[in-house]
Amino acid sequence: MIDSDTIVALATPSFESAIALIRVSGPGASVLATDILGNCPRPRQAHHGRYKDQDGTQIDDVLFCFFKGPHSYTGEDILEISCHGNPFIAQKIIDDLLSRGCEMAEPGEFTRRSFLNGKMDLSQAEAVMDLIRARSDRALETANRQLRGVLGKRITLLAERLLQVVAGIEAYIDFPEEGLPPESQKKHIENIASVAKETNKLLATSHYGNIVRDGVRTILIGEPNAGKSSLLNQLVGYDRAIVSPEPGTTRDFLEERYMLGPHCIRFLDTAGLHSGARSIEKLGIEKTVEQSADADIFLLVLDSTHPPPSLPDEIRDRMTSQNTLLVCNKSDLNELKEIPEEYSPFTRIKTSALDGSGLPELQDAIITLVESGRTAIGEDLIAISARHAHALSEVSQCLQSAQERLESEEPLELVASDLRSSLDNLGQITGRIDNEQMLDTLFSSFCIGK
């Protein structure tokens, strides 16, 4: 029997395919390779062989590839077995490996071991799942950058700068009779402010990170029969929504994902907004108001043959020139010239959902709005997650407190405490702390085999 700390899992989806990959990691990987093949394969070379179970019954012709730790994904010895992509065959091999002493891997356990063995920091480990789930060019780009350690390196740099400040301040805590010289106080305040500025720049990428990972929630709103559903069909390229000349056809919201440039756009077609709606229409309007609360972009669709409508305050209050496009539809029938003053800040696009005119301009305008929310961090594209945002928000608050205490000449012990809290929260991002519960929660969202 091998060491029970050796894990196994299927690393490819469990359905019929050309190839299935089974991954083994741990101190028993080399022993298993020797038992099954007769000798341990040379590292990083593919070896053809017959996989036989412990009774000597052949299960499949396979390829073995051995990776010697620490030069492997997990930092441990790894054995990868490529068999034919029949789920029955793959399960037979896994069952045999379990009978030889392996344990079934937990979700994310391979990546967790990689993190614990120092092969990557926690932000890189999260990027593995972002890479697997990426559904757009921009999502793929940000995940790859984070996997290369772009965010982790910036966090480490901020932590190193803070440590210098902490060291300088704590040196005077040990000798309180000397006091902090004015020139040192000024220098520390400037350094703290500089780190705070960089922290807030990273924090500003939070919203962009959300839309990169989850898609851009783009809601079409307007009066009944303004052409919202027809416009949705034109945008996604097929008849997703029912279109009828009768007003009020859409009584619930419809969602459709569509790749637009480098982004995944989540178009939401909603019920028409108007007064005097019947009970079922009122429910649809309530849904529209509810969905608008989480919208990233508003497409305010106007019927060019009618005067522009007024909007519910709950929706209008969320609309700005940075997140709203004014879509003057049915421009083939009439040109809308009178625009209410409240709509004047919005970029105006003339379209016809009937013949598709103005559609390329509308698509370009949507991409421009999305990209305008991107905060440049030097040459690096960084889009932090909600977990990172929470930690950085705590860092920002602690740094502000430290700066204020230092300026008002409060006890240096309090300043140092704030700075230490900042360092702890930076450590939450890269994983330079011991927090077993956080790791359990994070890696439980991974798939088994990763």
- pLDDT at 438 > cutoff 60: no
181 and 269 part of one domain: no
CATH of residue 291: 3.40.50.300
- pLDDT at 61 > cutoff 90: yes
What pLDDT, on a 0 to 100 scale, did the predictor assign at position 41? Answer: 85
Backbone angles phi, psi at 6, to 5 degrees: -95, 125
Residue 44, in any domain of the structure: yes
Residue 60, in any domain of the structure: yes
105 and 129 part of one domain: no
Residue 184, in any domain of the structure: yes
As a whole number, mean pLDDT of residues 158-182 equals 81
Residue 231, in any domain of the structure: yes
What are the residues whose beta carbons fall under 8 Å from the beta carbon of 25, sequence distance 6 or more? 6, 7, 72, 73, 74, 76, 77, 78, 79, 105, 110, 113
- pLDDT at 278 > cutoff 70: no
What pLDDT, on a 0 to 100 scale, did the predictor assign at position 280? Answer: 61
Q: Taking all residues of the chain, what is their mean pLDDT, rounded to a whole number?
A: 86
- Report residue 377's pLDDT band, with 50, 70 and 90 as the boundaries: low
355 and 389 part of one domain: no
Question: Looking at the DSSP assignment, which residues form a beta bridge with residue 325?
Answer: 299, 347
Lowest mean per-residue pLDDT among 169-178, 194-203, 324-333, 356-365 = 169-178
- pLDDT at 281 > cutoff 80: no
183 and 50 part of one domain: no
CATH of residue 39: 3.30.1360.120
- pLDDT at 105 > cutoff 50: yes
Q: What angle is formed at CA 28 by the lines to CA 25 and CA 30, rounded to 5 degrees?
A: 90
As a whole number, mean pLDDT of residues 309-334 equals 88
346 and 293 part of one domain: yes
- pLDDT at 245 > cutoff 60: no
Residue 443, in any domain of the structure: no
Q: Which residue has the higher pLDDT, 445 or 60?
A: 60
What pLDDT, on a 0 to 100 scale, did the predictor assign at position 356? Answer: 86
- pLDDT digits over 138-147, tens only? 899 989 999 9
- Report residue 426's pLDDT band, with 50, 70 and 90 as the boundaries: very high
Domain region containing 219: 214-372
Helix, strand, coil % (nearest 5) of the chain? 45, 20, 35
As a whole number, mean pLDDT of residues 122-130 equals 91
What pLDDT, on a 0 to 100 scale, did the predictor assign at position 380? Answer: 61
- pLDDT digits over 325-365, tens only? 999 988 877 777 678 888 889 999 999 888 889 999 999 99
- pLDDT digits over 253-276, tens only? 688 899 999 999 999 988 777 665
**Per-residue DSSP letters for 201-235?**
HHHTTHHHHHHHHH-EEEEEEESTTSSHHHHHHHH
What pLDDT, on a 0 to 100 scale, did the predictor assign at position 244? Answer: 46
Whole-angstrom Cα distance, residue 10 to residue 7? 11
361 and 256 part of one domain: yes
176 and 108 part of one domain: no
- pLDDT digits over 22-43, tens only? 999 999 999 999 999 888 889 9
275 and 328 part of one domain: yes
As a whole number, mean pLDDT of residues 287-310 equals 86
Residue 1, in any domain of the structure: no
Q: Is 137 left (phi over 0), alpha (psi -120 to 50) or beta?
A: alpha
What pLDDT, on a 0 to 100 scale, did the predictor assign at position 20? Answer: 97
Q: Which residue has the higher pLDDT, 74 or 277?
A: 74
**Per-residue DSSP letters for 351-411?**
--TTT-TTHHHHHHHHHHHHHHTPPPBTTB-----HHHHHHHHHHHHHHHHHHHHHHTT--
What pLDDT, on a 0 to 100 scale, did the predictor assign at position 152? Answer: 92
Collect contacts of 8-11 with beta carbons under 8 A, ≥24 apart: 8/94, 8/97, 8/98, 8/102, 8/103, 8/104, 8/105, 9/94, 9/104, 9/105, 9/109, 9/110, 9/448, 9/449, 10/90, 10/94, 10/448, 10/449, 11/80, 11/110, 11/449, 11/450
What pLDDT, on a 0 to 100 scale, did the predictor assign at position 276? Answer: 54
- pLDDT at 248 > cutoff 80: no
12 and 131 part of one domain: no
- pLDDT at 277 > cutoff 60: no
Residue 437, in any domain of the structure: no
78 and 177 part of one domain: no
189 and 227 part of one domain: no
- Report residue 207's pLDDT band, with 50, 70 and 90 as the boundaries: confident
197 and 257 part of one domain: no
Number of domains in the chain: 3
Question: What stretches of 134-174 show up as alpha helix (H) in DSSP?
Answer: 137-147, 150-173
CATH of residue 135: 1.20.120.430
